Structure 1
Amino acid sequence: MTNWKKIFLLVIGILCVILLICWQVFWARTLQKQTRFLMDTYCTVQIYANRGLAKRVLDKVFTRLEEIDKKFNVYRPGNELYKFNQDGTPIEDREIVDLVKIALKVSEESSGAFDITIFPLMNLWGFPTRSGVTPHVPPQKAISECLKKIGYKNLVIKNNVLSSTRKGIGVDLGGIAKGYAADEVVKILKLMGIKSALIDLGGNIYAMGKHKGKPWKVGIKNPFGEGVIGVFEASDLSLVTSGVYERFFMENGMRYHHIMDPKTGYPSKGLESVTVICSVSTIADAWSTALFVLGPERGLKLAENKPDMECIMVTPKSEIICSRRLKEKLEIIKKQKRR
């Protein structure tokens, strides 16, 4: 073989290697992941895309999440929720009002188990990390006084403006905002041509499309320790879990968690965690709290009356309760021993 032929083949070989590397780096669809701390939790978005598209998509996704965090953070001076909670200034922001409408619908359907006016009670107990109050059990008198300020029926929406009927009412959309944020992320991903993604906003999970041709496998956390109680196969579904393990403190040998019963003013009893599965993350988020407060009997009955919703509950005795339509998938749920 002549020298020029060897050189030609060598050049062709090098070009092929360069093209292969470029294809893998810039054009090949691989799983791209980004995590940031927003909305008081870690937010992770994984998408299948080439690197160039992934950067554009993830930049847009996290810009939107930052916008939502700023708007719905009740401790951010200057935003409309902050002003409403400070002095009752009516809220005109359409995005906030529309989300409040959804929250009020869940409140009505759950007989008040989900109540966004629980803000003063959460502050009293010191659960919000940004409240500046150390978590503690308040005196009964303080709880009784605080309960007078709680009640979703004290909120009024007229001409798409949110106001309250009495002083001292405070709104916290923390029980629904992360679900809403997940749905907003899904909208962006679809608009930008992403077909497969896994969104995890502090336990608010949305599995979009499929992973390597099969539904995503999403673990349902064991509320008693490490590991999961089972794995659920999900495609275009949201799985949102409310659990006592997320935030709690110990006082005099007793554990007090952050999921409050709006009627008693104390942490809800009867469950360790509730996972709600449905196609809309906003709805799953709100109902995971509502079902937790309602408890295993009332909560399960209500969930089973909703054709587009499934739920998995874990009791303090490690009993796993599934909604009726999930029973055929019961084999994927593996019981964990309590630690």
Structure 2
Amino acid sequence: MFNSRKPKRVGSCVSQNLFYVYCINSYKTARGNLHNVSKRTSEDHVSVLKIDEPGEDGLYGLHQLEITGGYKGVDNHKSIDVHGFDIEFLPDSRLRFWMINHRPPVDESGNFLDATNLGANSTVEVFDLVPGSRNLEFVKTVANPIIKTPNNIAATRDGGFVITNDHSTKTGLIRSLSMIIGGGNIAMCGSDNQCHGGPSNRFPNGIVRGQDGLYYVASTIKGKISVYSLESNHTFTQIDEIDLHMPLDNLSVDANGDILAAGLPDVLKVFKSLDDPTVSVPATAFRIRKFDTENGGWRYVVTKILEDIEAKVLSVTTSVVHDLKTGRLFFGSIIAPFVVVCEKA
């Protein structure tokens, strides 16, 4: 494992043997701090690791990407309040980053408003990265009321994206009860920046677009992955459901097309750890593999590939990524100040 300089929340994507992680200072992970503007540090960023080259220091060539171009944060700087993101390969070899940004609300003069009453002014930011560059070049901002409480995002590969809204409301009692009663939905926005609401779900969390073109959505409450097709009229059709019998967080897709899911065996301890990072929380990783059947259908096989039920090494694992070439597993955590790298035995 390797340590970062400050406690951070980590999410991830893999592209071209590079591992991209978004890093958030840990104050945001404490309950009630997401909307606490006074504790906002403006230090969120995306970092890069060369997953096939650990290096002598074991830091995998870790370096940070800089935002360039016409992007402006709420404070007229290039600060970003990043959450989930996805990466799309463009025909000219550039990488397009689709990134959720939980901007604090401001008035017309740029003064911060009370986010505890209004919630975040969440948007989707689009950046391009030229291979070998360290600059994220700003492309555009997508703002729409349907982008309400975005948790994660998957590019549609035709200029649009699909998001999970993990709550039904930005603030209030209903939001606070979401982990009990559920809430939230999935939605899509097209290349014209027009957005369309989709089916409700019970705390939809991670989302990926599989190599089969279907969208896989993890539910933290149901412990299931819902499988959707996105129709040409901007609607979703649920075509399958995969039961993992455990609350789920983020999903990822490896080069083989397998889906990796981060499981949360003890949700109560997860909540405790949000207030006290010293609380050890069990972690589980699943692999979901799709097989064609003789009758022209398909079936999914779920395998528990790793579990640290005593939280000796892993704790509150919210993301897991598989490097097919080396067999390494990379684990990101909502609380821990490091990424854990597990070598293939």
TM-score (structure 2 length as normaliser): 0.26
Higher helix share: 1
TM-score by length of 1: 0.26
More strand by share: 2
The structure that has the greater radius of gyration is 1
